[in-house]
Structure 1
């Protein structure tokens, strides 16, 4: 089957929702045939490059969807990449092409306890996951943010505790996330884990939940959204190798 053609969308609004999170609302005529109920699915932004170079592709989660528009949240940091740079400069009426949507990445909620974890790059996806959990769900959400003002009001079941960690993701933030998760009180029964974070922390979380908690592969989604010191293209190459190696050990 042929891949769907990219669609060109228009910037309808830009809003700084916290000191380090910028929300861009996209819409326009080409939203007419966009699939419904795609919150938590991903799209790829196609960022034009000089001359005849192929556009750069950057992957982002659909945070919210309405009849004719979607919200994309961009984590902002000192070392801005191509996508966050575009988002900060974008104004109402600007246009950008996107590909997708791709598949949804939701936690397997068929478990006795749940853990959702990540840094600010994963916050949009964690927020959608929390909103869609069963009312009786219990467990933890652990979210690392850059400063106190980056905490967001999140809808979640009363049995899920939300833990905010205020850290610098490029210094101690990655290990702070891992260490906090290790220190959480263990809950009885079968668990499910959804985590997205820096590459090296992802590897340690995989080992921790597979070996020590014995969470089966069917109930683990643990992915890296970035790697310290690498751009997205380099990260993808490293990630592909890691996925192949890890698949052979399951």
Structure 2
């Protein structure tokens, strides 16, 4: 299938979700031929700068989608890059070029138990996955946020335990998620795992899920969404190199 050409979307509104997360709603005529039901999939936002000859691309999750609009949530890191800086300063009516959508990575609802793990960059995708679970789903989500005030209400099934970790300096404690996962009682039955976070933290989680718990390849989606101290292009290169070394594990480069 041919790759969709980038489209121009406009800022419809902005909303503070939590102190460190900002929601920008994009829409306009560019949504007329946008595929339906893409919440949880990713898009490429394209930013032009005077210093670069070609646009900088940053990958973001579609948090929610309506007929003519989509919501995109931005984590407001202290060292703001081009994406969070744009989100902070954009105004209603501003335009941006958007590529995609890319493939969604949903949970397999036939599993017995669901385990979702991620930091704030993965919270939009995790939220979509949790909201799509059947009402009788059993499992847990371990979610790292920057501040207590960043904890969000999620529409989770009654059988899903939500465990929040506070890390005021994202990337500085890459072992935090894996350490908390190890404290969980590993359930009987088939466990479907979805995990995404900073690169070093991802590798710690992967070692646990793949080597210690021997989660089946078909039940393990794990990805790094960013790398402390690296820009997106450097991070992508690291992911490609790491994926070659990590045979049999679904480390996605999306």
TM-score under structure 2 length normalisation: 0.94
Q: Does 1:75 align with 2:75?
A: yes
Distance 2:249 2:174 in 1: 25
* Runs of at least 4 residues off by over 6 Å: none
Offset at 1:248? 6.1
- Counterparts of 2:2 and 2:126 in 1: how far apart (Å)? 31
**Matched residues in 2 for 1:86 and 1:71: separation?**
15
Q: Once superposed, what is the RMSD of the aligned Cα atoms? A: 1.5
Residue 62 of structure 2 contacts residue 70 of structure 2 at CA under 8 Å; is this kept in 1? yes
Q: Secondary structure at the match of 1:122?
A: helix
Q: Which runs of 5+ in 1 are unaligned?
A: none
SS at match of 1:224: strand
Partner of 1:214 in structure 2? 214
* Equivalenced residues, count: 250
Deviations 1:159-216 (A, max 9, x none): 1100011112436543221111111112111111000001111112112111222210
Is the aligned partner of 1:19 residue 2:7? no
1:104 counterpart residue number = 104
**1:158-169 aligned within 5 A:** 158-169=158-169
Cα deviations by residue, 1:123-171 (Å, 9 ceiling, x for unpaired) = 0001000000111211100000011110111001111100011112436
* 1:6-48 deviation digits (Å, cap 9, x = unpaired): 0000000011110000000000011111111000000000111
1:2-81 matches, within 5 Å, as: 2-50=2-50, 53-81=53-81
How far apart, CA to CA, are the structure 2 residues paired with 1:59 and 1:29?
22
Q: Tell me, in whole angstroms, the C-alpha distance in 2 between the residues paired with 1:206 and 1:168.
A: 23
Which segments of 5 or more consecutive residues in structure 2 lack a partner in the other structure? none
**Which moved further from structure 2: 135-144 or 19-28?**
135-144
Tell me the distance in 1 between the aligned counterparts of 2:209 and 2:248: 17
1:102 offset after TM fit, Å? Answer: 0.6
Instruction: Confirm or deny that 1:197 pairs with 2:197.
Output: yes
Normalised TM-score (structure 1): 0.96
